[in-house]
């Protein structure tokens, strides 16, 4: 799960062009991962067992880890970093090592869930790299996920329609928003999240080959808005427009 700025209407960049200006932004879980957390909570409710939430990010990401505990995760792990964005190869190396460490202590996870892509960097690859490093099957973009008899049944949308996969466990699945409707924390959940122990694992991994030089806003599309009126009296003007552009 990745901590990302919760956007206002516009995302600005700092003066040096290297970072998102978060001065007026809060933080949140990246939306696809929010659904991955919900999926984890539901699977534990259905099958028993435990779900762990893991993040690589600034120490403040503990806030999102605790939130995940408040909505159904049992354990939390933070891989703290100080520079704000690790490239995907490095991120995947660190997560692979951390999963290895957790599995050495407690046995293998049946399922690793990732977001389809993180909302901010949109790299589409960390989960796939981790799956490959661990030698596990991986499908991205899940909009349906059930587990039975040692198999994860995954469905996703494609141009031609829905397609289904059956991955033998242990497996890795990349989740897309729309898989489920994430729940809100209950009072009990909030209390549990305050008490939960959040473990720290020092991230390891050589940097990969992608270095961000600069972020910028795309060119603004300026539009001269034609205000057709105020209130329902403007209905004829709206319908005139529909006739003009030929949809009526």
Ligand X SMILES: Cc1cc2nc3c(=O)[nH]c(=O)nc-3n(C[C@H](O)[C@H](O)[C@H](O)COP(=O)(O)OP(=O)(O)OC[C@H]3O[C@@H](n4cnc5c(N)ncnc54)[C@H](O)[C@@H]3O)c2cc1C
Complex with another protein: residue 7 or 58, whichever CB lies closer: 7
Beta carbons of 5 and 120 less than 8 angstroms apart: yes
**Cβ neighbours for 159, distance < 8 A, ≥ 6 positions apart:** none
Q: Round to whole Å and give the CA distance between 185 and 72.
A: 8
Question: SS3 for 49?
Answer: coil
| Site for ligand X, residues 219 to 248, rule: CB under 6 A | none
Other beta carbons within 10 Å of 31: 17
Question: Pick from 25, 123, 185, 198: which binds another protein (CB under 8 A)?
Answer: 123
Minimum gap (Å) between residue 134 Cβ and another protein: 11
Beta carbons of 92 and 133 less than 8 angstroms apart: yes
User: Which two structure tokens, joined as six digits, stand for 176?
Assistant: 């897309």
Question: Pick from 12, 13, 31, 215: which binds ligand X (CB under 6 A)?
Answer: 31
* 187 makes contact with another protein (CB under 8 A): no
* 218 makes contact with another protein (CB under 8 A): yes
| Binding residue count for another protein, defined by CB under 8 A | 81
Residue 178 partner contact from another protein, ligand X, none using kind-dependent CB cut-offs of 5 to 8 Å: another protein
Beta carbons of 197 and 77 less than 8 angstroms apart: no
CA 173 to chain centre: 12
Q: Round to whole Å and give the CA distance between 165 and 156.
A: 9
Q: Which of 100, 166, 85, 152 is nearest to 130 (CA)?
A: 100
Residue 81 partner contact from ligand X, another protein, none using kind-dependent CB cut-offs of 5 to 8 Å: none
* 19 makes contact with another protein (CB under 8 A): no
Residue 6 partner contact from another protein, ligand X, none using kind-dependent CB cut-offs of 5 to 8 Å: ligand X
Q: Round to whole Å and give the CA distance between 151 and 183.
A: 25
Candidate segments 49-57, 63-71, 129-137, 197-205, binder of another protein by CB under 8 A = 129-137
To which residue do tokens 């600069």 refer? 214
* 7 makes contact with ligand X (CB under 6 A): yes
> What Å distances lie between residue 79 and 22, 134, 203, CA to CA?
21, 19, 5
Question: Pick from 27, 31, 42, 58: which binds another protein (CB under 8 A)?
Answer: 31
| Site for ligand X, residues 93 to 132, rule: CB under 6 A | 119
* 120 makes contact with another protein (CB under 8 A): yes
| Site for ligand X, residues 124 to 183, rule: CB under 6 A | none
**CA angle 93–82–29, rounded 5-degree value:** 75
x/- track of binding to another protein for residues 145-184 (CB under 8 A):
-----------x-xxxxxxxxxxx-------xxx--x---
Complex with another protein: residue 204 or 212, whichever CB lies closer: 212
* 6 makes contact with ligand X (CB under 6 A): yes
Q: List contacts with ligand X (CB under 6 A).
A: 6-7, 31, 119
């Amino acid at each position: 799960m990745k901590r990302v700025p919760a956007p206002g209407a516009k995302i600005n960049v700092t003066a040096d062009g290297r970072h998102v200006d978060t001065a007026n932004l809060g933080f949140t879980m990246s939306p696809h991962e929010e659904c991955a957390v919900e999926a984890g909570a539901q699977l534990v409710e259905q099958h028993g067992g435990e779900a762990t939430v893991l993040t690589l990010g600034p120490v403040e990401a503990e806030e999102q880890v605790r939130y995940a505990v408040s909505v159904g995760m049992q354990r939390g792990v933070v891989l703290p970093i100080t520079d704000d964005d690790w490239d995907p190869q490095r991120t995947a190396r660190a997560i692979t090592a951390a999963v290895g460490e957790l599995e050495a202590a407690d046995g293998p996870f049946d399922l690793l869930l990732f977001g389809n892509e993180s909302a901010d960097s949109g790299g589409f690859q960390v989960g796939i790299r981790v799956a490959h490093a661990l030698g596990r099957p991986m499908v991205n973009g899940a909009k349906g996920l059930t587990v039975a008899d040692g198999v994860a049944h995954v469905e996703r949308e494609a141009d031609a329609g829905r397609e289904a996969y059956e991955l033998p466990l242990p497996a890795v699945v990349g989740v897309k928003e729309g898989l489920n409707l994430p729940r809100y924390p209950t009072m009990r959940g909030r209390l549990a999240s305050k008490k939960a122990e959040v473990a720290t694992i020092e991230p390891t991994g050589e940097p990969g080959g992608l270095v961000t030089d600069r972020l910028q806003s795309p060119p603004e599309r300026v539009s001269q808005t034609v205000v057709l009126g105020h209130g329902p009296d403007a209905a004829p003007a709206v319908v005139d427009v529909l006739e003009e552009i030929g949809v009526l």
